[in-house]
């Protein structure tokens, strides 16, 4: 999909990401018991996690280039102390002003030790893909599509114009994943037979920042949104429309 105001979306996403890096990044000194997991994962990935000093370059690349998960990721604080799970957040984003299609794909993996082995589970949180045509809409254009369009190539020969492949994931969604995009790395312990297409979970998000907020809620519960607003009221336009926040606000009112 294409967001109407890419600069505003980047600003909101980066504002929330800065909060995450400050408030939810894993601290080895505070949580040393899962250091062995972090060391194994970092070694297998072959890359170091993002530091807060990298945030400015990340914002620049979101606007003018493309973020890659293999280059931009960080360990998050465990959802519960002493349960052994270490979350990892990676992101692939491209929100250039002149782009026809904006791309936001967040990767969430959780790692733990099972004896001497690292095990994991993973999900991808994504912006809407190119939607499939509705039956009524497709019917209106049926006559125009009976004859394939063609164009001339450099040699004067006619070739069929291929349209972009439509998807039935034309909404903000989450799906299982067995890989970390940007790395030649299969998540350890994830079975080979796992479907990476279905099920697809529809998310209460309309923007990249809200997609990131959904990732946080999936790990820490709706309480995390209260913490976000307590620290930074400028993110109210991201948090307050979310059902997970509004439901909690009603209970505490």
d(CA 238, CA 215): 13
Question: What is the reported pTM?
Answer: 0.80
Residue 8, Cβ neighbours under 10 Å: how many? 13
The answer to whether residues 123 and 177 touch, using CB atoms and an 8 Å cutoff, is yes
CB-count burial class (<10 Å; 0-12, 13-18, 19+) for 152: exposed
C-alpha dihedral over 5, 67, 69, 225, to 10 degrees? -30
| Domain residue ranges of the chain, discontinuous segments joined by + | 6-130+167-221
Tokens of 46: 């072959």
Question: How much is the pLDDT for 58?
Answer: 80
**Residue 136 — left, alpha, or beta (φ > 0 → left; ψ -120 to 50 → alpha)?**
alpha
Q: What one-character DSSP code corresponds to residue 167? A: B
**Three-state DSSP class for residue 10:** helix
Residue 40 is given by DSSP the state H
- pLDDT of amino acid 68: 60
pLDDT along the chain (253 residues), means of 10: 79 92 90 89 84 77 65 87 88 73 86 92 87 48 44 39 52 89 81 83 93 96 95 95 84 62
Residue position matching structure tokens 């254009």? 141
């Amino acid at each position: 999909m294409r967001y109407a105001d890419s600069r505003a979306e980047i600003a909101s996403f980066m504002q929330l990401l800065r909060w995450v890096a400050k408030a939810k990044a894993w601290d080895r000194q505070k949580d040393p018991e899962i250091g062995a997991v972090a060391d194994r994962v970092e070694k297998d990935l072959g890359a170091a996690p993002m530091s807060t000093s990298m945030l400015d370059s990340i914002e620049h690349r979101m606007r003018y280039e493309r973020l890659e998960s293999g280059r931009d990721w960080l360990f998050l604080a465990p959802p519960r102390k002493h349960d052994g799970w270490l979350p990892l957040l990676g992101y692939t984003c491209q929100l250039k002003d002149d782009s026809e299609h904006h791309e936001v794909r967040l990767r969430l993996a959780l790692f733990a030790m099972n004896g001497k082995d690292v095990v994991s589970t993973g999900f991808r949180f994504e912006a809407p893909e190119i939607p499939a045509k509705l039956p009524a809409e497709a019917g209106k254009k049926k006559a125009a599509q009976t004859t394939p369009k063609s164009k001339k190539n450099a040699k004067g020969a006619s070739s069929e114009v291929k349209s972009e492949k439509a998807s039935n994931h034309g909404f903000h969604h989450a799906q299982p994943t067995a890989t970390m995009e940007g790395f030649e790395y299969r998540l350890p312990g994830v079975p080979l037979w796992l479907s990476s297409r279905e099920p697809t979970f529809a998310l209460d998000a309309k923007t990249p920042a809200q997609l990131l907020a959904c990732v946080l809620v999936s790990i820490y519960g709706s309480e995390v949104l209260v913490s976000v607003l307590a620290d930074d009221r400028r993110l109210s336009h991201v948090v307050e429309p979310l059902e997970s926040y509004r439901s909690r606000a009603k209970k505490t009112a």
